[in-house]
């Protein structure tokens, strides 16, 4: 067993030996480093002992918002796989979305393969929620919903957001009802959908 232990130690240090580094066992090297004095440097500290760690991707604090504030999201292309997965998951088995022959001969839209407005809305919320409501959104209460034009497979959408209402709740002043107008636009700058969600948000 002693021979095996010695052989393992040699193997663990052989790579370093080729580079002109000390042949001292790696484990011992780390031990001596931890005990060696650090001239002019503060002793190493664990992450929890340093300044508070800040959470990335936190949502809006409604106290810092004001009516008229405007924001814009990144874009998202709607691929055929998105349409197929959505239609399968939600049961939107209408020929307008699933039958290309029907689309070519009967569909009133002639810009390509149309996708459901519900999918466009869901994609839009996927662009909005992670960057505005993470950790601060409490409830979705209501909304207006108006489809302005068709969206097709291959279109790229983004959302332009405007704050239109901020009202602290009567039961808990740390919370507020926040309404926005969300314009969903395609790569041509055309508005394809407008919705106006009213949400309850937590302040900080």
Integer Cα distance of 121 and 144 in angstroms: 12
Mean per-residue pLDDT for 15-25? 49
Integer Cα distance of 13 and 60 in angstroms: 52
What is the pLDDT, as a whole number, of residue 30?
A: 45
Q: Is the pTM of this model over 0.85?
A: no
CB 70 within 8 A of CB 160: yes
The model's confidence at residue 105, banded by pLDDT at 50, 70 and 90, is: confident
Cα three-residue angle 85-90-96, rounded to 5 degrees: 75
Token pair belonging to 94: 């209408």
What is the pLDDT, as a whole number, of residue 14?
A: 45
80-90 vs 117-132: helix crossing angle, rounded to 10: 100
CB 186 within 8 A of CB 151: yes
Percent of the chain with pLDDT strictly greater than 70 = 75
């Amino acid at each position: 067993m002693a021979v095996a232990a010695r052989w393992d130690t040699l193997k663990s240090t052989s790579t370093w030996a080729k580079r002109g580094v000390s042949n001292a066992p790696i484990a011992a090297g780390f031990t001596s480093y931890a005990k060696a004095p650090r001239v002019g440097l503060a002793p190493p500290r664990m992450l929890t002992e340093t300044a508070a760690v800040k959470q990335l991707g936190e949502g809006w604090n409604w106290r810092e918002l004001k009516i008229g504030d405007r924001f814009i999201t990144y874009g998202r292309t709607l691929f055929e796989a998105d349409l197929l997965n959505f239609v399968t998951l939600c049961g939107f088995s209408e020929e307008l979305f699933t039958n290309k022959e029907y689309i070519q001969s009967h569909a009133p839209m002639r810009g390509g393969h149309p996708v459901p407005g519900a999918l466009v809305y869901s994609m839009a919320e996927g662009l909005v929620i992670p960057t505005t409501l993470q950790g601060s959104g409490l409830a979705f209460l209501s909304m207006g919903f108006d489809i302005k034009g068709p969206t097709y497979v291959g279109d790229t959408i983004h959302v332009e957001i405007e704050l239109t209402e901020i009202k602290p709740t009567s039961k808990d002043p740390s919370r507020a009802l926040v309404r926005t107008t969300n314009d969903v636009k395609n790569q041509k700058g055309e508005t394809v959908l407008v919705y106006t969600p009213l949400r309850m948000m937590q302040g900080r």
